[in-house]
Amino acid sequence: MIRKPALTVLLALSSTLILATPLHAADSSLTTLSERSGFLKTGRYDEVIALCDAFARRYPDAVRCIEFGTTPEGRPMKALVATRTGAMTPEAAREKGIPVLLVQGGIHAGEIDGKDAGFQALRQVLDGEAAPGALDRQVLLFVPVFNVDGHERFGAWNRPNQRGPQQMGWRTTAQNYNLNRDYVKADAPEMQAMLALINAWDPLAYVDLHVTDGAKFEHDVSIQVEPVHAGDTAMREAGRALRDGVVADLAREGSLPLVFYPSFVEGDNPQSGFVDSVPPPRFSHGYMQLRNRIAMLVETHSWKDYPTRVRITRNTIVSLLEHVGRDGSQWLETAHAADVRATNLAGKPVPLEYIASDKVRTIDFRGYEYTRTPSDISGALMTRYDDTKPQIWKLPLRDEIVPGRSVVAGRRKAAPAWHRVPHAGQTAAQGEARGVPRRQDGLRRRLGRRPPAADAGRRLETRGARCRSRRLVRSDLATEGAAGDGAARAAGTRCVGRVGRIQQQFRTQGIHGSLRRRRRGAGDAGEGPQAEGRIRAEAEGRSGLRQGSCRAAGLLCASPQFLGRTLQPVSGAAHRGGAEVR
């Protein structure tokens, strides 16, 4: 008789062998280094570029290789458009009413399962080995690697708690942005390119492929979907149907899927249990539900080895294609109806956040035996797992989600001309004809005040554009010199480093306001012009010190009027055209 742990190992091994050895040899030009190495390694980004072109050549009637952006380090951002409907463009997909599924890997480039699993799944679907006929009823947009520059920061220890591949990319971009915290604010050039792709294709479902880490347990993947707890009521039913369908498919394939993020309430203490939640819109699956579209966060578990994680991710992609192919048209009609409802929210309560209620239920969670003993280094309690001894944990779970703060929606007002940006599908020429320059991300942004004169506005745009381009930071510093710093001081500056994070902020408006207040105080005290000169010299000295600190740190000065804009997200169709100006 085979004991249960041994049986689990045998099933995983047999699944890996099946995954790595298809019934007939695959075209080597369409396989990844990962597949050829038995899922021990992953390739560099040059492989993505080559495979994108190779798939388009091998399946000319079903695949297009497109470039939707350029990274700060100058690399192309590639995507594959795969369909047998003939809808190879966003316009064709909209005209035919065909649902679009966008699957993205490598937003955190160390968590790279999605790239290798996606290429394998796509080849098998195109060859009829998996999800037969699914591409006859949908368009698949596959982005193998979102964080391209981070992908090329290869290293063996970029994720020390992750089992494979042998080397992998880095979590953040070359400018140190975490892209899965950037959806609603769109600071990173890569995110602006992705949002432009989303605006163009308007995907029904957006799937973000990750790898989680933390405690050791038997569960190997979590599938989290919104709208389920939040969003339009009818869209919640669609989101729940997709989630439950994928979870059932994965369970049939031998996985142990979860429908919540398995992060303990208290650090690494399993007995603290779990609390489910609705993600804020800086995350992919929090952002897309605001557009009345379905978003899925897929998290395989880092303690599983790379062959196992790629197999599970591949199964997830195939399941998604099957469900969207079967029910996507109906869900798309539901989404369009939700868009209409979103335009009539005036006077109705709108939740700003969702929270877990105090209702608790106990679940059986498949973990391992563990001990919690003081660390020899810190003295704090440390959890040590024995993954040779499976154990059922009885854990508390709070998963009843209710609205938190709510507001009554006001009536929309016509936005001033300087706020307006062309909607998705509108050409740049159409926007410019209305006097509106086309932004790359397609979002409306709110300025803190009416824009300055046209020439000043152009200066601010130019300065901000230089900040966003890492490639130009050094040359700008070399050519601008003191004159550039003086011009920046005259307008008020923020210093933006090569990593793209705001390091310091200096606004001459604040200093000048202080100067005026102190000047009035000096006049009241009878100190006269001498005090005014002293106060001005002190203020200018402070500004020069801050600018000197910028230069010493190798930072570039850019205007806060340009960089200080904030997004104003709204739900539904209005958001897809850009954030509403209120």
> Which strands make up the sheet holding 502-506, listed edge to edge?
502-506, 493-496, 556-558
473-476 contact pairs (CB < 8 A, 24+): 473/498, 473/554, 473/556, 476/556
Cα gap 221→257, rounded to integer Å: 5
Taking the CA atoms of the chain, what radius of gyration do you get in angstroms? Answer: 27
pTM of the model: 0.72
Whether residue 71 is predicted with pLDDT greater than 50 in this model: the reply is: yes
Cα gap 454→431, rounded to integer Å: 18
Cα gap 420→519, rounded to integer Å: 41
Tell me the sheet residues that pair with 294: 205
Q: Give the model confidence (pLDDT) of 427-441 as tens digits.
A: 444 444 444 444 444
- pLDDT > 90: what percent of the chain? 64
pLDDT band at 155; cut points 50, 70, 90: very high
User: Fold for domain 4-264+277-338+350-356?
Assistant: Aminopeptidase (3.40.630)
Distances (CA, A) of 153 to 96, 223, 345, 424, 501: 41, 28, 46, 33, 19
Rounded mean pLDDT of 338-348?
93
Q: Give the pLDDT score at 420.
A: 55
Q: Pairing between strand 100-104 and 205-212?
A: parallel
Six-digit token pair at 154?
């290869």
Whether residue 481 is predicted with pLDDT greater than 60 in this model: the reply is: no
Q: Give the pLDDT score at 268.
A: 87
pLDDT band at 524; cut points 50, 70, 90: very low
Chain centre to alpha carbon of residue 114: 14
Cα gap 473→557, rounded to integer Å: 10
Cis peptide before 165 (omega within 30 of 0): yes
Q: Give the pLDDT score at 68.
A: 98
Q: Give the pLDDT score at 410.
A: 86
Whether residue 318 is predicted with pLDDT greater than 50 in this model: the reply is: yes
- What is the distance between the terminal CA atoms of the chain, rounded to a whole angstrom? 68
Six-digit token pair at 29?
């030009």
The single-letter code of the amino acid at 457 is G
Cα gap 481→147, rounded to integer Å: 33
The residue ranges of every structural domain in the chain are: 4-264+277-338+350-356, 361-397, 449-564
**In the predicted model, what is the mean pLDDT of the chain?**
78
Cβ–Cβ < 8 Å for 68, 146: no
Rounded mean pLDDT of 27-55?
96
Closest alpha carbon to 302 in 224, 388, 219: 219
Distances (CA, A) of 69 to 102, 143, 315: 16, 12, 29
Of 196-200, 238-242, 440-444, 494-498, the least confident:
494-498
